[in-house]
């Protein structure tokens, strides 16, 4: 599909964020990206799916090329709509991070989506929980170095 991410690992190439995350969880389980508690696990999966299936695909370059000149308005609309629902969910699940106080796969999905929101100039004022969690995550070294604005193939205008 000529999309990112893609990961070459263990003799295979994987694409799609959640497939990669699940593979890493299953083959390199320390630290775990899923809580032990089944209810919290379900919440983590729900939040991750909400982001990667309900918000993010609507800002893929292929979609935005089809939208044309209205791409900024389009992206803002769908990010805001998704964030309204996500903010309500996180108000019930969050501790320091998306679900409790341990980093989970939901957090791995949140940070790049907030970066997209910033890229499309979404007003983050209505989303204090999302903003707080993202700020806490960006204090962690793993999130600092893996942030979309710090990748070698990031266009110059989007680099940190």
Do 51 and 128 lie in one domain? The reply is yes
Give pLDDT tens digits for 97-135. Answer: 999 999 999 999 999 999 999 989 999 999 999 999 999
Contacting residues for 45 by C-beta, under 8 A, at least 6 apart: 34, 105, 106
Do 89 and 20 lie in one domain? The reply is no
Do 108 and 129 lie in one domain? The reply is yes
Higher pLDDT, 5 or 153: 5
pTM, 2 dp: 0.89
Q: Has residue 105 been placed in a domain?
A: yes
Range of the domain at 14: 1-30
Per-residue model confidence (pLDDT) at position 130: 98
Do 52 and 84 lie in one domain? The reply is yes
Do 60 and 15 lie in one domain? The reply is no
Long-range CB contacts for residues 93-99, cutoff 8 Å, separation at least 24? 93/40, 93/43, 93/47, 94/129, 94/132, 94/133, 96/133, 96/136, 97/133, 97/136, 97/137, 98/44, 98/47, 98/133, 99/35, 99/40, 99/43, 99/44, 99/47
């Amino acid at each position: 599909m000529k999309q990112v991410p893609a990961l070459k690992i263990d003799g295979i190439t994987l694409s799609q964020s959640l497939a990669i995350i699940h593979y890493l969880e299953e083959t390199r389980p320390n630290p775990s990206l899923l809580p032990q508690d089944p209810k919290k696990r379900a919440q983590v999966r729900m939040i991750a799916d909400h982001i990667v299936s309900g918000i993010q695909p609507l800002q893929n370059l292929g979609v935005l090329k089809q939208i044309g000149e209205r791409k900024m308005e389009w992206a803002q609309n769908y990010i805001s709509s998704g964030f309204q629902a996500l903010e309500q969910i996180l108000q019930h699940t969050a501790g320091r991070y998306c679900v409790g106080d341990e980093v989970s796969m939901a957090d791995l999905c949140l940070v790049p989506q907030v970066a997209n929101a910033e890229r499309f100039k979404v007003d983050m004022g209505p989303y204090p929980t999302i903003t707080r969690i993202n700020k806490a995550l960006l204090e962690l070294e793993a999130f600092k170095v893996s942030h979309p604005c710090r990748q070698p193939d990031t266009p110059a205008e989007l680099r940190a």
